[in-house]
Structure 1
Amino acid sequence: MKNKTEIVTIFTRKTLGLTLVLSAAALAFAQEKAGVSGIIVNKKNQPVPYASVTFSNKANKTLSDAVLTDEKGQYQLQLMPGDYDITVEAIDYKKSVVSKNIAKAGNIGALSIEAEATSTVDGKTKEIQGVVITASATKAYKVELDKKTYDPSQDIVSKGGNLQDVLTNVPSVSVDTDGTVSMRGSTNVKFLINGKPSALLGIDDGANALQSIPADQIERIEVITNPSSKFEASGTSGILNIILKKSKKVGFNGSVVGSLGYFPRTSLNTNLSWRKNNWTWFLNGGGGYTENKTKNNSETTYHNLTFPNVVANQQPNDVLAHQLQNSTNKTYNKNYNVSAGFVHDLSDKTSINFTGLVRTFEGDGNELLDTYDSFYRFFRDSPDPSTTAGKWNLLNPSGRRDSKSVFNNLAFQGDLGLDHKFDDKGQNLSVSLSLQRNRSNNNSDILETYDLRPDVQDVTRRHSVSKTIIGKADYELPIGEQSKLEAGYRLDVNDNTYDNFVSSTSNNPYIPSYNNNTDYKEVFNAFYLQFKSKIGEKFAYQLGLRDELSNVSINYINQNPNDKRIDKTKNYNNLFPSVFLSYDLSKNNQILLNYSRRIDRPRSFFMVPFPNYSNSQNIFEGNIDLNPSYVDSFEVGYNITRKKFTINPTLYYRHSTDDTKMLVYRPDESLGVFYTKPINLGNDDRYGLDLNFTYDPFAWLKIMGSLDMFGYKTSGIAYYDAIDKNKQKQTRNMDFTGDGFSTRARLNTTFKLDKTLSVQLQGFYRGAQKSANQNTQDMYALNLGASKTIWKGDGTISFNIQDIFNTRSREVFSFNEDYTRRNYMQWQPRQFSISLTYRFKQGEKIDQPKKKKDINSNAAGDDQQGGPM
């Protein structure tokens, strides 16, 4: 391991050089334009907010641009001098067109538009309303029919951090101490990047992958708790869609963000964009260095101790009574990423887009595990082995496990898309292709030393490669003014290969089986059809059906001569319906009801019989016969939006069949070796209330909170074979039947001390949770952040402390008929960081002309469709 100073120096040189090169390249494209501003008003000279203002250049259409007015009816944009037709459109107002010559920068004054004669008192029109309920442009999140959209730009605490830091503050989402992400108490979450599975998150990279995506590159996060049929059906607890930044500003714009913190963590990232005529380019890149320190302590007490009968000429096995283990794992990580792409408008109706990205992270770790045993050993009264007389004596030896690991990951992804509008009525076609490759290596050298038995040396080498092809086609067809038909096709081809090597001086009989080569391939063909419409002005509905044909093949070959090659093929054909209903009680007051059916496909390495070997005490065993589980999900929600507050309570119920559980057992009860194996087990029911709210009582105070109260009920009994202390084979069982109730709560308060300085406090609470054989204790933490704008708005300096009181840890009690185990884990102790952001810009933000709100409002443009309002 290099010393910290050398690593930080190397990282700083590389990332600073990358930033300067990218910035210089983008600056070459900068071009001067005239700054034009104005205001849109009605006939009473009142400002019209969020009106669409389109400037059409009469001589050259490629010089045309458009903008939306702000809440005060004002706008500004950059234009080349020339003659323009200015078109103004706004909901409940008549379309207005005027001509003006733009000769130089300046304010062109007020443009007046006339209200529609048919507009109603509360502002509703006969058009189908969009799915977005927005209380204010400054709200941290907005609620839609089938998702919540979270904007991390106001999250001061995660400034200079990564995706994992951002997720800790997202409504309906929880991040465990080991980086595990869950929604409403369930960990089966599907991650998407820009609407698609991505090489950015790898196949089995866990928290390392989350930490490799900088927070400053995230535009928003979409929390989809009950996806419609247009989304892929996997992810029974929901979908988290991470939308990365793509600038919508003319000319050259960008920002550079650097941060420094402790535990040692540094990062430097840049976001650059250039927009000219019908071309838009963007380039994001950077890297970081982090250190993590994980503590894991466990204490196991064995009950019902049985001392086997002594047989002549045979040494009886030791009887383990108690075991205490304390471990500390330090890891050192470096990560780099760069993404670039463009959008090119071939015509007014057709555009193509391309994005390419490369991400890499690498590091090493050192884990020290100290073990203190208490066990009974039989000592004969005579050295004669035929003597059966003697006694059992208590011994207290100790041991140490020293594990040194090196890991690295390299991911590539390329996305190509084509969007075509057949007309201006909403008939659209979108086609996309994504090619991805992810390679991971994880190597460990382990030395185990003990007082009363020989030392053990383990060497593990794991290599995995994932190749993915995703092809999509989506078609939209409006039917009259009230309805829309959508249809699409999607192809997913995933090919994962695992090459594992294990060498050990232990007498573990399963070691040869861990030397294996496995090819896991899955092909999914999906078709969907959705229809959405309105009945009257208040009731809207969406009906969808998705058909997924799945083919999974596993070829498993190991080096153990006692095992045979395993070839397994599985085929599924499943229908996934969805229903979304909404009813407007009044303006910004709505009831939502929806249903969807989902599938939980086993992770690929769960189905490899012997996927990886970690240590001789805790062994993970795959299950090649593992099947998908299915869930029926129901939700009824209510939305109310007012000037100072929003409230969004949702009642939900999920029923899962063939639910996947982790069976932890001892196949040989005379040894303290625990095996973990995924199995299909019975049913799982979850129900609860998910409440999110915002409250802005004063201009200087903003409050955002979420509360998830849920109950759960699990049924099922697992059976397994075990060898008892007398070397007799017995069938054991583990009862998973149980129920309970738990809570998740989060509260954010942001204080604006003056125009440039804000302070934020974040607190969360995770309630205790019980099951038939495991109790998890409650957990809480408090974070602090401060942000100040400097350099006349072009810079921001932020400071944050994560886990002020160092309480973010997890304590779990597991028990069975013959043992009780306590486990304590702290993923990362208290840490703090300071970050500096500098923004350089040439143009102002522009948007496409504002259309009439649509029931298929789609900001991301790829699998992001919501339902009707």
Structure 2
Amino acid sequence: MTNKIEISSIIKKRTLGLSFVLGAASLAFAQQKVNVSGKIVDQQNNAVPYASVTFSNKANKLFSDAALTDEKGAYQLQLSPGNYDISIEAIDFKKSMLNKQISAAGNLGNFTVISESSSTNGKTQDIEGVTITAASTKAYRVELDKKVYDPSTDIISKGGNLQDVLTNVPSVSVDTDGTVSMRGNSNVKFLINGKPSALLGIDSGANALQSIPADQIERIEVITNPSSKFEASGTAGILNIILKKSKGMGFNGSVVGSLGYLPTTSLNTNLSWKKGDWTWFLNGGGGYRKGEGKSDSDTRFFDPLTLATTRYFEQNSRNKSESNNYNATAGFNVDLTEKTSFNLSGMIRNFSSDSDNKVDNINYDAARVLNSYSQTKALGNSSNLSLQGDVGLDHKFNGNGHNIALSLSLQRSNNKSTEDSKEYNQSVFGYGTLGNNNTVNKSVIGKVDYELPLGEKSKLEAGYRIDRNTNDYDFLNSETDLNLKFGIVDAYSGNTVYDETINAGYAQFKSKFDKLGYQLGLRAENSNINIEYQSLSGNTSNKKKDYTGFFPSVFLSYDLGGDRNDQLLLNYSRRINRPRSWFLIPYPTSLANRQNLFRGNEDLNPSYVDSFELGYAVQKKKFTINPTLYYRKTTDDVKFVLLSQSIGSDVLVTSPYNVGNQANYGLDLNLTADLFPWYKIMASADLYGYKSEGSYFDPSRMQTPLSFEGSGFSTRLRLTNSFKIDKTLNMQLQGFYRGGEKTASSTSKDMYVLNFGANKTIWKNNGTIAFNIQDILGTRGRNTTSLGPGYERDSYMRWSPRTFNISLTYRFKQGEKIDAPKKKKDINANSQGADDQGPPM
């Protein structure tokens, strides 16, 4: 049984006049409430967890209340004596109604609900979809259009952040530099509660992932092949991060503090208050983090014709950093009428960091004899302030799924950074650079989604969305030479304004015929992009891009046998990968490391991918298994190419290029099993290969186009072992393995990581103390060999050393549980928090 509870009957309180309110309030206070309890069971007398039990007072609705059963099917609450209509609802069970006279405190006994599996006359439930469900204690479950990961059972990431949680999510991997990928593809689209969010920043990378505490995350939805209702960007898929909200009537919450080594500290809280038609929530916290990293490279330059070595260049980098972050999200939801609700929320996020980077630059001749030595010292600081406001209005025309939802999201992110770099030759100052970057990102997202049931098993959905994004980049790079002459480097300084408007519309139809479910959808998106660049000396350039794409999707499901939990799934979708805005900036934005620069490519075009999946899903009480075969064909694929700045130059420049086509294929296998009452495992394996072909050409640095061909195969394996020592003590041991991978321009070696975690429940289940060790063996690093015209480079990167963390959680008012939120959209999200409900069959 899942913890996603669909509840259509919520207590409604209406104001019928001042005198009536005062009179009813007086009567309410005059009544003495009594404690009642009971249990919900099925026909085999098994407990039904997370069922909604609603007590409607027949004389006065103000005396009505509701409760949510716990894991053992039990509930309790306080009621005023009187006559009550009792409604019981739970997923996979028929709605039950009964009447009860309550006069005194006591146990009401067992109420029995009937399973829905024998029913053949489903109505609106049929078009809401078949969901493959599991017990709420399982960390991983499979649904028709996504996989859902629950971090509450993840001991290893306790006291950590979103990046730590993602390292444990099936089908997802996090590289040593914080890059997130799905099935070997790093073009992942992140959503917060079903929409793009300033909480992750705009173009903020790993720093943004580290600023979201793990304790604020309710669940993570992994959507590898989204339907047409989703925005079409993100060729690898979508990661939808669902944050915690209200769980019960009255005041509820938790506070989590953690302390770790390098060191790291954090304090976070989740608070909610629910009363009548109003639900308020506040999530917030902050922390301090210290990091250490290292990166080494050894480059051999050679004659492209004779392949004879001409010289060597070695770099050894050591980086130390300190960062502070805080974020707060607050909002409310109110039921205006029985059919209309309104929600409003706001968010603020601040992140700041300081870094100290030292790089040794060593030049050798062809015989590996030292020619010169220099050291670069770079001090940097950065800050980010992000704001976001969301408003939404949801209306139900009736109780059969005829709905409309409107939402608006306003976001702003301000990023500032400074980098002061100096190079010394044999301890003698050579030259220095000073870089200042100020980036302002603004975004407006408006949406309308409409749902219309057609008969008992069909539904038509349609909607419109507009994304308006403006990114304003200001770069000012200056340098000081040996004679202490200061000057601005015009080629590396200027202003770039990236303006993007995306208009999108979609329509999709879903239905079911006997055991076959299907959904057909089509999405159209028009992208209008304008890039204006102006250097300090007045040189200007303007690039406009306007293109329209059509993105169909097809989802099929077939029920195998009589068990709805066994399904064969086949789906197809078309996606787009628009270049990120800073990939289009046509000049290097930093001079801190003069030998290794990054420069954008304003001629970069979007990539398109056709994605196919064939999956089989089985989910039983003791185990789940979900093998999926997939194939993706990408056109105008984007690769990062490393080239010399000019012929014979020691300076290497990394730039993105459209290089041709690439095909990806593989097997994604996920498994959970309760082997013994004290031992559970969660395993995942991704076996994938690729083949690419094409060419790239840069007239400023190349005389002829270079071909880009390659193929390879790699693996990613993860095994999490969970041990229940006793009722209060649990432990986890996790192993991760990433196989070596070869591309057309690089080869990486394999890597393995071992993590450990333990937690103990204290203070009568109101507290939890947790401890974990990340990278026990100190093996989390990336070894790569890069190849290019006239050079070969071996590099090693380690993002952070072994870390320890201990956290303490205190929960309060957890006993006052009531019904779960009604199934309706929340701003940009549905009841699952996703941008859409996908293809229910």
With structure 2 as the length reference, what TM-score do the two structures score? 0.90
In structure 2, distance between residues paired with 1:114 and 1:131: 18
SS of equivalent residue, structure 1 residue 216: helix
In structure 1, distance between residues paired with 2:302 and 2:823: 70
Post-superposition shift, 1:519?
1.0
Q: What is aligned with 1:770?
A: 742
Post-superposition shift, 1:135?
3.0
Structure 2: 5+ residue runs without aligned partners?
Answer: 1-31
Post-superposition shift, 1:667?
2.9
- Cα separation, partners in 2 of 1:818 and 1:37, compared to 1, 3 Å: same
Does the 8 Å CA contact 2:660/2:692 hold for their aligned counterparts? Answer: yes
The 5 Å alignment of 1:535-684 reads 535-536=513-514, 538-560=515-537, 564-586=539-561, 587=563, 588-610=565-587, 612-614=589-591, 615-684=593-662
Post-superposition shift, 1:247?
1.7
* Cα deviation digits, residues 363-416 of structure 1 (max 9, x gap): 10000001111148xxxxxxxxxxxxxxx9965210000000011000001111
In structure 2, distance between residues paired with 1:851 and 1:206: 33
Does the 8 Å CA contact 2:642/2:788 hold for their aligned counterparts? Answer: no
Q: What is aligned with 2:225?
A: 226
Q: What is aligned with 1:133?
A: 132
User: In the alignment, which of 449, 453, 469 is matched to residue 494 of structure 1?
Assistant: 469
* Cα deviation digits, residues 731-759 of structure 1 (max 9, x gap): 14433200010001110000000000000
**1:745 to 2:717 alignment:** yes
Q: What is aligned with 1:336?
A: 326
SS of equivalent residue, structure 1 residue 765: strand
Does the 8 Å CA contact 1:78/1:843 hold for their aligned counterparts? Answer: no
Question: Which amino acid in 2 is paired with 1:800?
Answer: N
Q: What is aligned with 2:85?
A: 85
Post-superposition shift, 1:101?
4.5
Q: What is aligned with 1:177?
A: 176
Post-superposition shift, 1:43?
7.0
* Cα deviation digits, residues 259-309 of structure 1 (max 9, x gap): 0010100000111111111111111111000011110000011112999xx
Q: What is aligned with 2:21?
A: none
* Cα deviation digits, residues 711-748 of structure 1 (max 9, x gap): 1011112223477xxxxxx6144332000100011100
Question: Which amino acid in 2 is paired with 1:135?
Answer: A
Post-superposition shift, 1:141?
1.4
Question: Which amino acid in 2 is paired with 1:521?
Answer: D
Question: Which amino acid in 2 is paired with 1:774?
Answer: S
**1:521 to 2:511 alignment:** no
Question: Which amino acid in 2 is paired with 1:655?
Answer: K
User: In the alignment, which of 803, 812, 815 is matched to residue 784 of structure 2?
Assistant: 812
SS of equivalent residue, structure 1 residue 793: coil
In structure 2, distance between residues paired with 1:64 and 1:56: 5
SS of equivalent residue, structure 1 residue 655: strand
Aligned-pair identity in percent equals 60
Question: Which amino acid in 1 is paired with 2:109?
Answer: G
**1:325 to 2:315 alignment:** yes
Question: Which amino acid in 2 is paired with 1:414?
Answer: G
Question: Which amino acid in 1 is paired with 2:355?
Answer: G
In structure 2, distance between residues paired with 1:242 and 1:302: 45
Q: What is aligned with 2:107?
A: 107
Between stretches 154-163 and 394-403, larger displacement belongs to 394-403
Post-superposition shift, 1:570?
1.1
- Cα separation, partners in 2 of 1:104 and 1:803, compared to 1, 3 Å: farther
In structure 2, distance between residues paired with 1:190 and 1:589: 29
Q: What is aligned with 2:22?
A: none
Post-superposition shift, 1:114?
6.5
Does the 8 Å CA contact 1:251/1:842 hold for their aligned counterparts? Answer: no
- Cα separation, partners in 2 of 1:689 and 1:196, compared to 1, 3 Å: same
Between stretches 255-264 and 78-87, larger displacement belongs to 78-87
In structure 1, distance between residues paired with 2:320 and 2:589: 21
SS of equivalent residue, structure 2 residue 164: helix
**1:709 to 2:676 alignment:** no
Does the 8 Å CA contact 2:303/2:310 hold for their aligned counterparts? Answer: no
Q: What is aligned with 2:358?
A: 368
In structure 1, distance between residues paired with 2:311 and 2:428: 17
In structure 1, distance between residues paired with 2:275 and 2:796: 56
Question: Which amino acid in 2 is paired with 1:522?
Answer: E
SS of equivalent residue, structure 2 residue 778: coil
Post-superposition shift, 1:203?
1.6
Structure 1: 5+ residue runs without aligned partners?
Answer: 1-31, 308-318, 377-391, 724-729
User: In the alignment, which of 699, 715, 719 is matched to residue 677 of structure 2?
Assistant: 699
SS of equivalent residue, structure 1 residue 863: coil
Post-superposition shift, 1:820?
1.1
**1:821 to 2:796 alignment:** no
Does the 8 Å CA contact 1:710/1:741 hold for their aligned counterparts? Answer: yes
Between stretches 419-428 and 631-640, larger displacement belongs to 419-428
In structure 2, distance between residues paired with 1:170 and 1:118: 35
Q: What is aligned with 1:440?
A: 415
SS of equivalent residue, structure 1 residue 658: strand
* Cα deviation digits, residues 478-529 of structure 1 (max 9, x gap): 1111111111111111111001000023699993122111111101111111
Post-superposition shift, 1:34?
5.5
Does the 8 Å CA contact 2:433/2:478 hold for their aligned counterparts? Answer: yes
Post-superposition shift, 1:346?
1.0
**1:358 to 2:348 alignment:** yes
Does the 8 Å CA contact 1:340/1:356 hold for their aligned counterparts? Answer: yes
- Cα separation, partners in 2 of 1:517 and 1:103, compared to 1, 3 Å: farther
In structure 1, distance between residues paired with 2:44 and 2:729: 37
In structure 1, distance between residues paired with 2:153 and 2:415: 34
In structure 2, distance between residues paired with 1:736 and 1:135: 46
Post-superposition shift, 1:127?
3.8
Post-superposition shift, 1:768?
0.5
Post-superposition shift, 1:51?
4.8
Does the 8 Å CA contact 1:397/1:452 hold for their aligned counterparts? Answer: no
**Number of matched pairs:** 799
In structure 2, distance between residues paired with 1:33 and 1:493: 53
In structure 2, distance between residues paired with 1:434 and 1:65: 34
Post-superposition shift, 1:89?
4.5
